[in-house]
């Protein structure tokens, strides 16, 4: 039976997430999540999504989708935000820094940082709904600060590399070969 991954595009619908001008986090996360899913599917992974269009679903409902569908892993895609516009980088959140989820989170975070983002590391967050209400290892990737124009430019100019880095890191930690599209 193939590995099943639930991919969560953060926010959605009436919840835009962080906004910077005409850029909405919910749009970036959906685009990234769908492309990640496409790559993982092409590599033999059974992919399910918390959303595939611009609709709202609560974080607890998103966690429950992964639980109901018996996902082996839950990957939530987000952008970050800061009051200071110069704050930048990639950060990945996990419930705790133990087990396979931590190794996957660290490898993904490091691979995105290698593309050009500042590496803000892997952090433990016990109060993040999709991390503690999921029955499977879960991680939440914050790919650049939407409030930082340089991070937005990097996201656009290296978009394919970023999504491929996430997919490749995930697959390699699982002992699976990565084949590019």
Domain limits, the chain: 4-173
pLDDT tens per residue, range 123-138:
999 999 999 999 999 9
The fold of 4-173 is: Aminopeptidase (3.40.630)
- Residue from 167, 173, 171, 179 nearest 141 by CA: 167
- The yes-or-no verdict on residue 1 having pLDDT over 90 is no
pLDDT tens per residue, range 103-157:
999 999 999 999 999 999 999 999 999 999 999 999 999 999 999 999 999 999 9
C-beta of residue 63 within 8 angstroms of C-beta of residue 130: yes
Question: Count of CB atoms within 10 A of residue 126's CB?
Answer: 10
What token pair was written down for 41? 């599917």
pLDDT at 181: 83
Percentage of residues in the chain with pLDDT exceeding 70?
100
């Amino acid at each position: 039976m193939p590995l099943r991954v639930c991919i969560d595009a953060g926010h959605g619908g009436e919840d835009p997430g962080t906004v910077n001008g005409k850029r909405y986090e919910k749009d970036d996360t959906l685009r990234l999540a769908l492309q990640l899913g496409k790559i993982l599917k092409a590599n033999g992974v059974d992919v399910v999504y918390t959303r595939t269009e611009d609709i709202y679903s609560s974080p607890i409902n998103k966690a429950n989708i992964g639980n109901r569908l018996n996902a082996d892993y839950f990957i939530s895609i987000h952008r970050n935000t800061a009051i200071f516009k110069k704050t930048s980088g990639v950060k990945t959140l996990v419930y705790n820094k133990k087990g396979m989820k931590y190794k996957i989170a660290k490898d993904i975070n490091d691979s995105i940082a290698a593309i050009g983002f500042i590496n803000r590391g892997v952090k433990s967050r016990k109060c993040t709904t999709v991390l503690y209400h999921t029955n499977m290892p879960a991680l939440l990737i914050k790919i650049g600060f939407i409030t930082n124009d340089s991070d937005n430019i990097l996201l656009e100019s290296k978009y394919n590399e970023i999504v491929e880095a996430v997919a490749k890191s995930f697959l390699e930690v699982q002992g699976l070969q990565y084949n590019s599209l």
